Structure 1
Amino acid sequence: MDIRQLKYFVEVGKQKSFTKAAQTLFLSQPSLSKMVKSLEDELEVQLVDRSGRTIELTDAGQAVYLHAQQILHSMNDLSSSLYDVMNLKKGQVSIGLPPVIGTLFFPKILGDFHKNYPEIAIRLDEHGAKKVEEEVIAGQLELGVSVLPVDVEQFDVVPFMKDVMALVVSSQHPLAGRKQIELKELRDESFIFFTEEFALYGRMLGVCRQAGFEPTIAYKSSQWDFITGLVGENLGVSFLPVSMFNKANDPKIQMVTIQDVDIPWHLGIIMKKQKYRTYAVKKFIQHLLHY
């Protein structure tokens, strides 16, 4: 058994297709099939059920798949450790960013980091917070930025920013002249929410339910500036972090403080528990905490 066999088998299990896996690995399909078959012969067990239109892993295949992922992650950590020893101030950091957070804070942060560490490359993936967490756990990302709290059994967390949520309404809305409001007063309003893949969706939904009503959701969007635009046209109200409202700087919208409940919006860098941290990762975290 060698690392290539495990790598190829894991990709087949991930793609559930020899054709797609072969394309990802830049191999011919017969070569990939032969490699997986050699692994089955060596282990004396069937790993892949080839009887259907799409392949599925057998019970033994699932067990090998999980262990193979751990082995490959360990090999990646070993490579990273050796690279650090041999190339102290070079490297790469892979970061998962929800688009909302990226737009608000990270252009300046990344620009200054590049000036200080020009030999360290940054790879960015933009996803909602839920997807970011999944990819950090899977080892596909070294760092993620997420809304706290997260599962501390799975993640090491470095908090770096605290904010609170506020109600945002059109300047033409009857509530625009108010400084404070109780949540229960919003039960008859139409709301504009972030889409489900964002942590803010669940946070907003939970806040309304906590106040005793199910919100009427008129629109959903993954773009915070589009949400503020819809609010500005008086098509609904929304909850946004205060920093996001300030970033919008739009005279068409007004912020109203929520009186009866404090809704925190705290952000943190998340890392897979006990995963090796490269020199580049450590330097990026130090740089981020400067902000």
Structure 2
Amino acid sequence: MEFRQLLYFVEVAQHKSITKAAEQLHISQPALSKSIMALEEELGTTLLIRTNKTSHLTDAGNVVLEYARKMTGLIDEMKLTLSDLTNLSIGQLNIGLPPFIGSLFFPRVMAKFHKAYPNIKLDITEYGGARIVKSVEEEEFELGVAVLPVDEEIFHTYPIVEEEMMLLVHQDHPLASRKEVDIKDLKDEVFIFYHEEFALNQIIRNHFFITAGFEPNILFKSSQWDLMSEMVAANLGLSILPRSICNRLFTKDTNIIRLKPTIMWRLAVITKKGRYISNAGRAFIDFILKDPL
């Protein structure tokens, strides 16, 4: 059964005439008759009683007409919904965010995006950066925000933030008066560090501490930057945090120091290559690239 046959049948039922329906549909009368007969044959019942001037529905024809109208209505609804999606009148977007990033940048971004696209629903899940990368690859999320680098053979990346990581120390620490500290000088220090599920854990540990020749002495691991900074303020250890987070600290008990070599914090929206990205997803990427964090 073809959907076109149902459309033709509805038209004949409305006009009660194959001739008038054919004129309305801009097809020949024999072609329309053939289509209706094929539909009757497939359904195994007579749908129309044909006379010289009119065509009347049988009981079976009335049943088919009822369902045909429902189906044509659903098709019209589908087309309208697709049109709304295309024009971003409606939509849903699943985003994975690391907690650091969500609390730091995204309330403002989400508010502006919602104002621009009020009918797009945002479904936000907070995971550590490493888990977000895995979840985008496994297509749990349409897009995520991750710390670079990621495997660019697997992901498209859209950079949104680049800033320096800073050393946070208690004001009474021997290093507190320094303007810059070499990572090699941190060999004997105690650290408040990132949980393993965070990309920064591996990036800083492997590319900076291990490269400098030592394994960091980690007292405590956390996924919350405010807790990490408060533990530094309590003189329990040192931490390395993005500059924007350090600038938000409201404590007089800590000092912020530059690191050598410089550690950069690079964030990007990531999507999986080869995956379909919805209109809402593309709108979000365009929106955030036009108004960087």
Common fold by TM > 0.5:
yes
Q: Which residue in the other structure is 1:288 paired with?
A: 288
- 2: CA distance, partners of 1:183 / 1:129: 24
Q: CA offset at residue 83 of structure 1?
A: 5.4
Q: Which residue in the other structure is 2:168 paired with?
A: 168
Q: Which residue in the other structure is 2:95 paired with?
A: 95
Q: Which residue in the other structure is 1:277 paired with?
A: 277
- 2: CA distance, partners of 1:97 / 1:235: 28
Letter of the structure 2 residue corresponding to residue 243 of structure 1:
S
Q: Which residue in the other structure is 1:252 paired with?
A: 253
Q: Which residue in the other structure is 1:30 paired with?
A: none
- 1: CA distance, partners of 2:79 / 2:192: 46
SS of residue matched to 1:210:
coil
Contact residue 163 and residue 242 of structure 1 kept, 8 A: yes
Contact residue 165 and residue 265 of structure 1 kept, 8 A: yes
- Aligned residue pairs, count: 211
Contact residue 184 and residue 211 of structure 1 kept, 8 A: yes
Q: Which residue in the other structure is 2:182 paired with?
A: 182
Assess, with a 3 A threshold, how the Cα gap between structure 1 residues 240 and 104 changes in structure 2: closer, same or farther: same
Q: Which residue in the other structure is 1:235 paired with?
A: 236
Q: Which residue in the other structure is 1:119 paired with?
A: 119
Q: Which residue in the other structure is 1:217 paired with?
A: 218
Q: CA offset at residue 157 of structure 1?
A: 0.7
- Runs of 4 or more off by more than 6 Å in structure 1? none
Q: CA offset at residue 247 of structure 1?
A: 2.0
SS of residue matched to 1:288:
helix
- 1: CA distance, partners of 2:142 / 2:127: 14
Q: Which residue in the other structure is 1:191 paired with?
A: 191
Contact residue 193 and residue 204 of structure 1 kept, 8 A: no
Q: CA offset at residue 116 of structure 1?
A: 1.1
- 2: CA distance, partners of 1:131 / 1:267: 15
Q: Which runs of no fewer than 5 residues in structure 2 stay unpaired?
A: 1-77
Q: Which residue in the other structure is 2:39 paired with?
A: none
Q: CA offset at residue 86 of structure 1?
A: 4.6
- 2: CA distance, partners of 1:82 / 1:153: 37
SS of residue matched to 2:228:
helix
Contact residue 183 and residue 258 of structure 1 kept, 8 A: yes
Q: Which runs of no fewer than 5 residues in structure 1 stay unpaired?
A: 1-79
Q: Alignment RMSD, CA only?
A: 1.7
- 2: CA distance, partners of 1:217 / 1:167: 15
Question: What whole-Å deviation, never above 9, does each CA across 1:187-225 have from its counterpart, x for those lacking one?
Answer: 111011110000111122121111111111111111110
Percent of counterpart pairs with the same letter? 42
Letter of the structure 1 residue corresponding to residue 204 of structure 2:
M
Q: Which residue in the other structure is 1:47 paired with?
A: none
- 2: CA distance, partners of 1:171 / 1:116: 44
- 2: CA distance, partners of 1:225 / 1:253: 13
Mapping 1:85-164, distance limit 5 Å: 85-87=83-85, 88-89=87-88, 90-164=90-164
Letter of the structure 2 residue corresponding to residue 143 of structure 1:
L
Contact residue 170 and residue 254 of structure 1 kept, 8 A: yes
Contact residue 84 and residue 278 of structure 1 kept, 8 A: no
TM-score by length of 1: 0.69
- 2: CA distance, partners of 1:203 / 1:247: 23
Question: What whole-Å deviation, never above 9, does each CA across 1:31-84 have from its counterpart, x for those lacking one?
Answer: xxxxxxxxxxxxxxxxxxxxxxxxxxxxxxxxxxxxxxxxxxxxxxxxx99954
Assess, with a 3 A threshold, how the Cα gap between structure 1 residues 214 and 155 changes in structure 2: closer, same or farther: same
- 1: CA distance, partners of 2:281 / 2:118: 14
- 1: CA distance, partners of 2:182 / 2:133: 33
TM-score by length of 2: 0.69
Mapping 1:37-56, distance limit 5 Å: none
Contact residue 168 and residue 254 of structure 1 kept, 8 A: yes
Assess, with a 3 A threshold, how the Cα gap between structure 1 residues 81 and 257 changes in structure 2: closer, same or farther: farther
Q: Which residue in the other structure is 2:267 paired with?
A: 267
Assess, with a 3 A threshold, how the Cα gap between structure 1 residues 281 and 188 changes in structure 2: closer, same or farther: same
Assess, with a 3 A threshold, how the Cα gap between structure 1 residues 102 and 182 changes in structure 2: closer, same or farther: same
